[in-house]
Amino acid sequence: MAAGEPAGAAPFVHRVTVGWGDCDPAEIAYTPRIPAWALEALEAFWTQRIGVSWYALHAERGLQTPFAHLAFDFRAPVTPRLPLDCEVVPTRLGEHSITYRVRGRQDGRLCFEGELVSVFVASGGMVPHRPPDDLAQKIRDFIPSA
Look up the CATH number of the domain holding residue 94. 3.10.129.10
Residue 8 confidence class, pLDDT cut points 50, 70, 90: low
* In-domain check, residue 4: no
Residue 1 confidence class, pLDDT cut points 50, 70, 90: very low
Q: Give the pLDDT mean for 116-139.
A: 95
* In-domain check, residue 146: no
CA of residue 31 relative to chain centroid, distance: 17
Q: Give the pLDDT mean for 116-145.
A: 94
Contacts of residue 13, Cβ cutoff 8 Å, sequence gap at least 6: 85, 86, 87, 88
- How many domains, the chain? 1
Contacts of residue 146, Cβ cutoff 8 Å, sequence gap at least 6: none
- Position 32: which residue type? P
The whole-number pLDDT of residue 117 equals 99
Range of the domain at 136: 12-140
* In-domain check, residue 122: yes
Helices (runs of H) and strands (runs of E) counted in the chain: 3, 8
* Rounded CA separation 95/130 (Å): 6
Residue 124 confidence class, pLDDT cut points 50, 70, 90: confident
Residue 9 confidence class, pLDDT cut points 50, 70, 90: low
* In-domain check, residue 135: yes
* In-domain check, residue 124: yes
Beta strands in the chain (DSSP E): 12-16, 63-64, 67-74, 84-93, 97-106, 109-119, 121-122, 127-128
* In-domain check, residue 5: no
* In-domain check, residue 114: yes
* In-domain check, residue 91: yes
Tell me, yes or no, if the pTM score tops 0.85: yes
- φ, ψ of residue 103 in degrees (nearest 5): -120, 130
* Rounded CA separation 117/26 (Å): 30
